[in-house]
């Protein structure tokens, strides 16, 4: 068995298993109808209905994703089957890329070959089939999330390849490919904006022995990433006093509600009328609601930014402490999933917000101070593991500490002080979830080694 795991055929086996499991998990959704933001973004979007209109598509927001929608439309019109097929294929590719990313991290940390491949394989498989991913895969418009995530992981894999390249020419060519992946990912969805930070941390954690010194040798790539980062921030944030476009999900400001139960994914709870829906939550934030459309105050942003009506940056941050803890509970026990949560807004740091009557939530709402303490403990644990790894601790310490940082950094654009009118969406934790899964698999391996008195990594 060890010989098989150490051989090249193991990689092929992992790829086949991931592909089969993902198709088995999602084939029953291939004919699910368009929902919510799918309507303005796809079926009612005239721009994607002419594939020859490349210039118009490229001028749109998130043009890379819009171009894939245009190709889908050119091939199959508004038949949802083709769109679901592409979404599922992107998820499979992302899951495979995740396997090689985790494997690379474990190998660079000094993990044994067999142990590293098994940990990476199980982590990628959980990432591939965990129910939390259903919204990013089955909700067609959230191809934006999964496609940007694919480019995110590919960029890091290319960076790893560049660091190992022997010739200067190959190294600089791969650096250029990292920048291209960053651009393609950003124009798929802006969540990839944190890529430079993650790459720098990966460099420090796994190539620099916990120190920054070695990263200086790669200054041309980091300079390019910084220039792009500044440009992306200027393009999406600076022109808008309310910071609106940085975190708009898509067409949420005007998307009509889909028929009840239309998503068609087992385990997803459709929002009941008036409860658990975006309308119930947005009534708290945006004010009046008239026939399913939000009415923003004059001069105010209706979607995202510091001008969102009814919630301050401080209150949004308080709410996000609870949201992130709720994400963790969903990752641990994925029940009562909802496509649009009626999640209570936290107004005070030391007072627990009250959930609306009828809202379906897995845990009671904590005071933001409690959630903040929980998150600080997790982050502190990650820092402690990182310090231990610099002193020669086992590979798992370095890997877990990195993926704890991964979890928080990738959530940062949507879980910070910049208010978004929808305070929680499951697709936002799509890529961040990898941090939880890797840590979970390594913890289970450590626990089994402790119980059965075997050698762990």
User: In Å, how far are 118, 273, 280, 282, 286 from 358, measured between CA atoms?
Assistant: 43, 10, 11, 16, 21
Beta bridge partners of 268: 337
Of the candidates 93, 419, 42, 440, the one whose C-alpha atom is nearest the C-alpha of residue 255 is: 42
DSSP 241-288: TT-GGGS--SSTTTPPPPPTTTT--TTEEPPPTTSSSHHHHHHHHH--
Q: What is the DSSP string of 405-456?
A: HHHHHHHTTTSSSS-BSS---GGGGTTTHHHHHHHHHHHHHHHHHHHTT---
For residue 277, is pLDDT > 50?
no
The pLDDT assigned to 457 comes to 62
**Mean pLDDT in residue range 308-314:** 86
Cα dihedral across residues 426, 432, 437, 443: positive or negative: negative
Compute the residue count for the chain. 457
Confidence of residue 418 (pLDDT cuts 50, 70, 90): confident
pLDDT, position 454: 65
Whether residue 188 is predicted with pLDDT greater than 50 in this model: the reply is yes
Report pLDDT digits (tens) over 209-249: 878 888 898 999 999 999 999 999 888 766 444 444 444 44
Residue 300 has pLDDT above 50, yes or no: no
Hunting for tokens 């698999």 — which residue is that?
441
Region label for 271, one of left (φ > 0), alpha (ψ between -120 and 50) or beta (otherwise): beta
What are phi and psi for residue 318, nearest 5 degrees?
-55, -45
**Is residue 384 over pLDDT 80?**
yes
Cα-based distances in Å from 112 to 107, 255, 306: 7, 50, 48
Q: CA-CA distance, 376 to 355, in Å (whole number)?
A: 24
Residue 393 has pLDDT above 90, yes or no: no
Bridge pairing between strands 289-290 and 293-294: antiparallel
Q: What's the pTM?
A: 0.88
The CA distance from 383 to 402, in Å, is: 9
Lowest-pLDDT choice from 99-103, 123-127, 289-293, 341-345: 289-293
The answer on pLDDT for 168 being more than 60 is yes
Q: Which residues contact 300 (CB under 8 A, 6 or more apart)?
A: 242, 307, 308, 309
Above 60 in pLDDT, residue 140? Answer: yes
Radius of gyration of the chain (CA): 22
Of 442, 429, 438, the C-alpha closest to 99 is 438
Residue with tokens 């070695």: 214
More confident residue, 393 or 291: 393
H or E stretch including 269? Answer: strand 268-269
Conformation bin of residue 332: beta by default, left when phi > 0, alpha when psi is -120 to 50: alpha
Dist CA 224 CA 238 (whole Å): 20
| Residue in 345, 356, 341 with CA at minimum distance from that of residue 322 | 345
Cα–Cα distances in Å, from 15 out to 11, 78, 97, 174, 434?
Answer: 6, 31, 10, 24, 17
What confidence score (pLDDT) does residue 198 get? 98
Q: Domain map of the chain by residue range?
A: 153-239, 269-283+300-457
Q: Is the separation of the CB atoms in 281 and 423 below 8 Å?
A: yes
**Mean pLDDT, residues 200-211 taken together:** 91
Residue 42: closest CA among 10, 69, 74, 79: 69
Dihedral pair phi/psi, residue 276, rounded to 5°: 70, 5
Task: Locate 227 and state its tokens.
Answer: 């220039």
Residue 442 · residue 400 · CB < 8 Å: yes
């Amino acid at each position: 068995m060890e010989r098989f795991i150490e051989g090249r055929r193991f990689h092929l086996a992992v790829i086949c298993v991931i592909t089969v499991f993902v198709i088995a998990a999602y084939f029953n959704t291939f004919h699910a109808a368009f929902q919510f933001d799918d309507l303005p973004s796809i079926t009612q979007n005239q721009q994607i209905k002419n594939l020859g209109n490349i210039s118009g598509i490229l001028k749109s927001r998130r043009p890379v994703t819009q171009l894939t929608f245009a190709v889908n439309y050119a091939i199959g019109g508004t038949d949802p089957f083709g769109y679901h097929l592409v979404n599922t294929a992107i998820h499979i590719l992302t899951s495979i890329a995740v396997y090689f990313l985790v494997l690379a991290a474990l190998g660079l940390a000094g993990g044994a070959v067999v142990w590293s491949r098994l940990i990476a394989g199980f982590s990628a498989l959980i990432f591939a089939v965990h129910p939390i991913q259903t919204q990013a895969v089955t909700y067609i418009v959230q191809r934006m999330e999964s496609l940007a995530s694919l480019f995110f992981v590919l960029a890091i894999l290319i960076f790893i390849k560049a660091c190992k390249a022997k010739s200067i020419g190959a190294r600089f060519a791969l650096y250029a490919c990292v920048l291209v992946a960053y651009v393609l990912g950003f124009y798929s969805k802006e969540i990839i904006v944190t890529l430079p930070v993650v790459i720098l941390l990966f460099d420090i954690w796994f190539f620099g022995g916990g120190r920054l010194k070695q990263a200086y040798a790669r200054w041309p790539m980091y300079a390019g990433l910084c220039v792009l980062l500044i440009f992306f921030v200027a393009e999406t944030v600076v022109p808008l006093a309310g910071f609106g476009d940085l975190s708009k999900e898509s067409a949420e400001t005007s998307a009509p509600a889909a028929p009840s139960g239309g998503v068609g994914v087992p385990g997803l709870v459709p929002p009941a009328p008036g409860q658990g829906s975006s309308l119930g939550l947005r009534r708290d934030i945006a004010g009046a609601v008239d026939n399913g459309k939000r009415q923003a105050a004059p001069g105010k942003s209706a979607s995202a930014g510091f001008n969102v009506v009814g919630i301050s940056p401080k209150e949004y941050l308080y709410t996000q402490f609870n949201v992130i803890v709720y994400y963790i509970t969903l990752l641990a026990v994925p029940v009562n999933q909802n496509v649009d949560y009626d999640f209570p807004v936290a107004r005070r740091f030391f007072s627990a917000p009250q959930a609306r009557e009828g809202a379906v939530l897995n845990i009671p709402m904590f005071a933001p101070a409690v959630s903040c303490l929980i998150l600080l403990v997790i982050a502190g644990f990650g820092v402690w593991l990182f310090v231990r790894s610099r002193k020669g601790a086992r590979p798992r310490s370095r890997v877990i500490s990195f993926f704890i940082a991964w979890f928080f950094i990738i959530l940062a654009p949507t879980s910070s002080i910049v208010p978004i009118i929808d305070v929680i969406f499951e697709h936002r934790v799509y890529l961040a979830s990898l941090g939880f899964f890797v840590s979970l698999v390594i913890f289970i391996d450590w626990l089994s080694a402790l119980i059965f008195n075997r050698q762990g990594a």
